Amino acid sequence: MPIGDFVSIRDFSPQQIEALLDLACHVKADPRSYRSTLAGQTLAMIFEKPSLRTRVTFDVGIHQLGGFALYLSPAEINLGKRESVYDVAHNLERMVQAVMIRTFAHALVEEFAGYAGIPVINGLTDFSHPCQALADYLTMFEVKGRVRGLKVAFIGDGNNVAHSLMFAGAQLGAHVLVATPPDFEPKAEAVAWARERAAQTGGSCGITHDPREAAGAADVIYTDTWTSMGQEQEAEQRRRVFQPYQVNASLFAEAQPDAIFMHCLPAHRGEEVTTEVMDSHRSVVFAQAENRLHAQKAIMLQVMEAGGEVGRKFAGRAEALTRAR
């Protein structure tokens, strides 16, 4: 069925996620066929956290689909402080066709989506990063030719990226193993959900404190910065705690001979990953960054054009995948 909001990977069936990846592949392969699909439509982009990739890929993406982007900074919005979430949602629903929000609290995006009568896209919260996860698994599929059965090792902080990587992996039948220092594990509710869904799709979700256990025979080694926005005061302590979790040549050698390296960026070279690994022929970080554009174009097509031809094709694809199971 067509989707409404895109707030969490958890909100959809495995078949819907597979169909969305399928659409992203088509959009990437034949962009000209979609260049006027969202003609005349506007996406409001609310940024309470800065970003290179989120800003560029949503802005460029909707323009390539025939629509327009409107950037709204914290000074103009300041959700819940300058103006209530309820009031902002009801203002924007009368002016634009969808809203993308990149913010701190996940509950804020959920609240906004509950009030707004237009689609809402989660561009990142402290709990999840679903657009990134969709781009990540699109990249894995392109390089590996499959997602089901892959061992995906996430090494570092059990953060929002780790959560969405687990959620999407569970939806798609991957084996995700997260290695973190003690007390930095993903949230228990995130792990519980991923394990329950993975049991239904043939995947798995595990947590370890041993980075070499996670990297062993992995098809994908993934890491992220040790200190996220809002945690700057913890940076020095985190560097000490996470040093054994650095992805370097020695750790990467534990993975499969054809393993790939992934990072959602921005990267702190010399901290969570060495330049040797980051710039190696096994690294796909820039292809991964590009795929944010294609994955998010697929998301925008589904939430903003769900009643049209693309939405009907998406619904048919998801239903066909359901029957095939």
The verdict on whether 224 is a catalytic residue reads yes
Of the listed 175, 263, 292, 317, which one is catalytic?
A: 292
The verdict on whether 292 is a catalytic residue reads yes
Q: Is the sign of the CA dihedral 19, 160, 29, 56 positive or negative? A: positive
The closest alpha carbon to 297, from 18, 34, 10, 110, belongs to 34
- Crossing angle for the helix pair 309-324 and 14-29, to the nearest 10 degrees: 130
* Spatial distance between the Cα atoms of 254 and 251, rounded to a whole number of angstroms: 6
Q: What are the backbone dihedrals phi and psi of residue 75, each rounded to the nearest 5 degrees, phi first?
A: -65, -30
* Spatial distance between the Cα atoms of 221 and 198, rounded to a whole number of angstroms: 19
Apex 225 CA angle, 5 and 185, nearest 5: 75
Of the listed 106, 129, 175, 263, which one is catalytic?
A: 129
Of the listed 264, 294, 296, 317, which one is catalytic?
A: 264
Of the listed 16, 97, 132, 288, which one is catalytic?
A: 132
Of the listed 102, 238, 263, 294, which one is catalytic?
A: 102
The verdict on whether 129 is a catalytic residue reads yes
* Spatial distance between the Cα atoms of 69 and 55, rounded to a whole number of angstroms: 10
The verdict on whether 183 is a catalytic residue reads no
Which residues are catalytically annotated?
102, 129, 132, 224, 264, 292
